[in-house]
Amino acid sequence: MNCDELVNYLSDYIENSLDETLNAEAREHLANCTNCHILLDTTEKTITLCHNCAKQTIHPLRRGKILSQLQDALEHRQILA
């Protein structure tokens, strides 16, 4: 497996949904390719961060204040335009 092929199969590799042959080829490539190993590590960390962020919520009052500030900023920008 080469780098381009690994990138194409990366999601399936992470989800552990590759067949045994492709999975073995991906593991072998990752063991010998620093760039792809970094790509895998970065992608897995990004997925973890996204999952963790999705669990966080903004308090409704704070959300309302932020949306109000954004609306005010947009209206002010339209006046200046």
pLDDT tens digit sequence for 33-70: 999 999 999 999 999 988 877 667 788 899 999 999 99
Residues whose CB falls within 8 Å of the CB of residue 66, separated by 6 or more in sequence, listed in order: 58
Residue 32 near residue 6, CB atoms below 8 Å: no
Other CB atoms closer than 10 Å to residue 40's CB: what's the count?
A: 19
Q: Which domain holds residue 29?
A: 3-80
The mean of the pLDDT values for the chain is: 90
Determine what percent of the chain is predicted with pLDDT higher than 90.
70
Per the structure, the count of domains in the chain is 1
